[in-house]
Amino acid sequence: MENRKVTIADVAKRAKVSPASVSRYLNGVEGNLSPDTADRIRQAIDEMGYQPNAWARSLKTRRSGLLAVVAADLSNSYVPSVLDGIDSAANDAGYSLIIGNAKNDQSREAMLLERLHQQRIEGLVLQSTAEHSSGPLRSLMESGIPIMLIDRSVDGQSDLDLVALDNRGAISMALGHLRAQGFSQIIYVTDPPDMASSRRERELAVMASRSSWAAVRVVVRRDATPAALVEAIGDLLTDSERTAVLCSNAVATLYALDAIQAGGWAVPGELGLMMVDNPDWAPYVLGGITSVAQPTHDLGRQAAMRLLHRIRHPAIPPMEMRLPGQLIVRKSTQ
Amino acid sequence: MENRKVTIADVAKRAKVSPASVSRYLNGVEGNLSPDTADRIRQAIDEMGYQPNAWARSLKTRRSGLLAVVAADLSNSYVPSVLDGIDSAANDAGYSLIIGNAKNDQSREAMLLERLHQQRIEGLVLQSTAEHSSGPLRSLMESGIPIMLIDRSVDGQSDLDLVALDNRGAISMALGHLRAQGFSQIIYVTDPPDMASSRRERELAVMASRSSWAAVRVVVRRDATPAALVEAIGDLLTDSERTAVLCSNAVATLYALDAIQAGGWAVPGELGLMMVDNPDWAPYVLGGITSVAQPTHDLGRQAAMRLLHRIRHPAIPPMEMRLPGQLIVRKSTQ
DNA sequence: CTGAAAGCGCTAACAT
DNA sequence: ATGTTAGCGCTTTCAG
């Protein structure tokens, strides 16, 4: 049955009722239909392969059933996992999900946000590429479209909701574990912290620990050459102290693994290793890499649920939600 | 400026022109406007923070600017990579992307497809969970909505486009490499092949190789217990022949790594290992795992570009596009 | 319980 | 070059 242009009117004609009744049937309205008409309508719909047109409906009801996620970088394994959580909550509520990939480019992010605004999304989950709100983001806010920030904040303490890892807690958990394992020197490997509050928070927490425990010697940025990390590790290993590398996330860990392979150091014999994040390969590399797992799936789910709640109750004040990491001890620090 | 309900009519009034002129301005129509009116319109739009309403536009033009991707399982690392490719092509063409996650559940997939149909997507990229076309999928086809299958076919040689890895070629590449490296026994580890033609194609290619090279001794399904794999490997290792494990994808490899860790075998000393797929951790596990890389990003891009092409030219006949894998030799097979 | 009619915001003839 | 008008397909008063 060719349903290219089957409209509610066609169905109505076929069922010998008014378009209004078909609409009522479709929406299961209270003021019920007689069983007879309902039947005829159902039948007509089946026979004609009718599919309601969501645009027309949206135009009238001002609800699109569309949520959007704009991620900083799709190729970071953090994102798909969070996305999975968002998707499941969104779908349970009958929403579809539009996805945007900013590719770590602020102007691209801005363009995406503008497009989504025109698409009349009902809510947005944003892992922002920018420190400060762009024009399109503000425009979205002014239109009263609920926005949930994840992973990273925007404009510091803003008036937007935020769901993110408790970065300070995660770092202190990691450092605590390393200290307990007898490591007395730490090399912290991180991405350049600009543009991502989460990175900055982690790095700050690492630095702050120096006051209570003067063990952190080096912070290496991933924008340095790989050789720089090899050298940094090599330098510290001349000491007699036990040394560990702590990585700010999974991608930074791959970078560190490269250096460790190049340097030929034994883990955990000569060098400890752990990371924030718990990718699926963590148990299998070097016999298992100790991790502070982020509750990524749950984080996405929470964000989406909160967003959906806010869509229904716009008045509730924004809040910051910090999810705890979970220490998973493996061979690389034992 | 509160732009909740700024319409083209409001802008028109403010700019003292007709709605039609504003529309013309928005769409950069040929029959040009005088620089003066254009200016007034631009100004009015700025001042009022006007955002065109995509639904209304779609309703009229019958173009939604929406593409959809429905993936079998978002948590498989294959998907985000392909998605990235699709996203970049879609965005370049000004389309937004709706994403659906079937979670390996056919009925969930069917529900998603129906929702997308109502959303009036202009095209669909589908990694199907089902062997055969569901009602909603057929309905989509009958409505003339272009569909690109990726990774897996549906209904065998169907009348839908397909973009996928050249599985036979990939397997023969892998086997050829193993043979050249002196391995004389192969254990093939795969997911249960039901519901995914790609898995079946790979397994068939492995089995077919037996006629020319009687080296493949065991095929282990991931639905067996982990212990089964340990046992299978243990059994074969009593031989004096060189043995390798070949995994059908990254997830199966994690499973095999578990067994290898449990068995305590040295790679590549006692046991070779390689896989189809090249996840970001491949270089770092066991000193590097030999891979046949899938061109995932390119696969997504090709699929999206072909889809966009088909949207413009519905008449072109469907075709099957097979992308070659690429052998990346690492330590695990040397 | 059901129908008639008025739009939602936009575009595309058709006029002028 | 610009304005008028008639819908796109649906929901929703308001009557009956």
Residues A166-198 have pLDDT tens digits of: 999 999 999 999 999 999 889 999 988 777 899
Q: What is the mean pLDDT of residues A322-332?
A: 97
Look-up of token digits 């989504």: A116
B153 shares its domain with B172: no
* In-domain check, residue B60: no
Domain containing B142 — which CATH number? 3.40.50.2300
> Which of the four pLDDT bands, split at 50, 70 and 90, describes residue B195?
confident
Residues B187, B246 share a domain? yes
What CA–CA distance (Å, rounded) separates B118 from B137?
12
Residue A61 in domain:
no
Q: Specify the residue for token string 């020319």.
A: B212
Same domain, residue pair A123 and A227: no
Decide if B112 touches A, using CB distance below 8 A.
yes
Percent of chain B at pLDDT exceeding 70: 97
A127, A298, A318 from A131: Cα distances, Å: 11, 25, 19
Q: Mind listing the pLDDT tens digit for each residue in B200-255?
A: 999 999 988 887 776 777 777 776 777 888 988 888 887 678 899 999 999 999 99
Mean pLDDT of chain A: 91
Q: Do B290 and B303 sit in the same domain of this protein?
A: no
Asked if residue A26 lies in contact with residue A52, where contact means CB atoms within 8 angstroms, the answer is yes
State the DSSP code for B313. Answer: -
Expressed in percent and rounded to 5, the helix, strand and coil fractions of chain B are: 45, 15, 35
Phi and psi angles of residue B333, each rounded to the nearest 5 degrees, phi first: -125, 20
Is there a domain that residue A3 lies in?
Answer: no
Angle between helices A106-118 and A135-142 (to 10 degrees): 30
| Rg (chain A; Cα; Å) | 26
Identify the residues numbered 15 to 74 in chain B whose C-beta atom is closer than 7 Å to any atom of strand D. Answer: 16-21, 24, 31-34, 36-38, 56, 59-60
Distance CA B232, CA A245 (A): 37
**Residue whose C-alpha is closest to residue A55's, from B270, B134, B119, B224:** B119
CA A67, CA A121: separation in Å to the nearest integer?
5
Residue ranges with strand state E in B196-264: 216-221, 243-247
Q: What is the pLDDT of residues B244-298, one digit of tens each?
A: 999 999 999 999 999 998 899 999 999 999 999 999 999 999 989 999 999 999 9
Q: How far is B37 from chain A (nearest CA, A)?
A: 23
Total-model pTM: 0.93
Q: Which of A51, A112, A284 sits opposite B117 (nearest CB)?
A: A51
The pLDDT of A261-279, averaged and rounded, is: 93
- The β-bridge partners of B326 are B293
Confidence of residue A87 (pLDDT cuts 50, 70, 90): very high
- A 48-77 residues, CB < 7 A, strand D: 50, 52-53, 56-57, 59-61
Concatenate the DSSP letters of all residues of A292-303 into one string: EE--HHHHHHHH
Contact residues, chain B, for A144 at CB < 8 Å: 4
Q: Please give the average per-residue pLDDT across B152-173, as a whole number.
A: 92
Pair (B223, B287) in one structural domain: yes
> Which residue(s) pair with B148 in the sheet?
B125, B161
pLDDT tens per residue, range B292-325:
999 999 999 999 999 999 999 999 999 999 999 9
Is residue B190 predicted with pLDDT exceeding 80? Answer: yes
pLDDT tens digits for A105-140? 999 999 999 999 999 999 999 999 998 999 999 999
One domain for residues B96 and B132: yes
Q: What is the mean pLDDT of residues A137-144?
A: 94
B59 within domain boundaries? no
- B175 lies in some domain: yes
Distance between CA atoms of residues B124 and B98, nearest Å: 9
Q: Residue B55: list chain A partners with CB under 8 A.
A: 55-56, 58-59, 64, 120
Q: Is any Cβ of chain B less than 8 angstroms from the Cβ of A249?
A: no
Q: Which residues touch strand C (CB under 7 A)?
A: A 16-21, 24, 31-34, 36-38, 56, 59-60; B 5, 7-9, 19-20, 23, 26-27, 52-53, 56-57, 59-61
What is the band of B2 on the pLDDT scale with cuts at 50, 70, 90? very low
| Residues of A whose CB is below 8 A from B139 | 3, 49, 51
Residue nearest to nucleotide D3 (CA to C1'): B18
Question: What pLDDT sits at residue B31?
Answer: 61
- With a 7 Å cutoff on the CB, does A26 touch strand D? yes
**A116 interfacial to chain B (CB closer than 8 Å):** yes
Measured distance CA(A52)–CA(A66) in Å, rounded = 16
Q: Give chain B's domain count.
A: 3
Preceding omega of A52 cis (within 30 degrees of 0) = no
Judge whether A1 lies within some domain.
no
The strand pair at B320-323 and B161-165 is best described as parallel
Distance from the Cα of A45 to chain B's closest Cα (Å) equals 13
**B302 and B209 together in one domain:** no
For residue B54, the model assigns a pLDDT of 95
Confidence of residue A2 (pLDDT cuts 50, 70, 90): very low
Judge if A232 and A129 occupy the same domain: no
Q: Is the pLDDT of residue A84 over 70?
A: yes
The arithmetic mean of pLDDT across residues B38-65, rounded, is 93
Q: B152 falls in which pLDDT band (50, 70, 90)?
A: very high
- Checking if the pLDDT of A30 tops 70, the result is no
Q: Which residues of A, range 206-235, sit inside 8 Å of B by Cβ? A: none
Please indicate, yes or no, whether residues A173 and A266 belong to a single structural domain of this protein.
yes
Is B83's CB within 8 Å of A74's CB? yes
- pLDDT bin (cut points 50, 70, 90) of residue A4 is low
Residue with CA nearest D6 C1'? B60
Among A96, A119, A281, beta carbon nearest to B281:
A281
Statement to judge: residues A156 and A304 lie in one domain: yes
Q: pLDDT (tens digit, 9 = 90+) per residue, A203-256? A: 999 988 887 776 777 777 776 777 888 988 888 887 678 899 999 999 999 999
Confirm whether A58 is domain-assigned.
no
On whether residue B58 sits in a domain, the answer given is no
Comparing alpha-carbon positions, the chain B residue that sits nearest to A142 is B2
Alpha-carbon span A143 to B5, nearest angstrom? 9
Between strands B185-190 and A161-165, the pairing is unpaired
- Burial (CB count within 10 angstroms: exposed 0-12, middle 13-18, buried 19+), residue A75: middle
State the nearest Cα–Cα gap between B76 and chain A, in angstroms: 9
Which class for B314: exposed (0-12), middle (13-18), buried (19 or more C-beta within 10 A)?
A: exposed
Taking the C1' atom of every nucleotide in all shown strands and the CA of A61, the nearest one is D11
Domain that holds residue A209: 167-294+328-333
**Which of A53, A120, A285 lies nearest to residue B120, judging by beta carbons?**
A53
Spacing of B283 CA from C15 C1' in Å:
70
Q: How confident is the model at residue A1 (pLDDT cuts 50, 70, 90)?
A: very low
Q: Are residues A240 and A312 in the same domain?
A: no
* Whether residues B115 and B229 fall in one domain: no
Determine the average pLDDT of the residues in B66-70.
98
What tokens appear for A234 in the block? 């090599």
Q: What is the CATH number of the domain that holds B40?
A: 1.10.260.40
Three-state secondary structure call for residue A116? helix
Q: In angstroms, how far is D13 C1' from A32 CA?
A: 17
What does each C-alpha distance from B210 to B107, B173, B195, B217, B218 come to in angstroms?
37, 15, 24, 9, 11
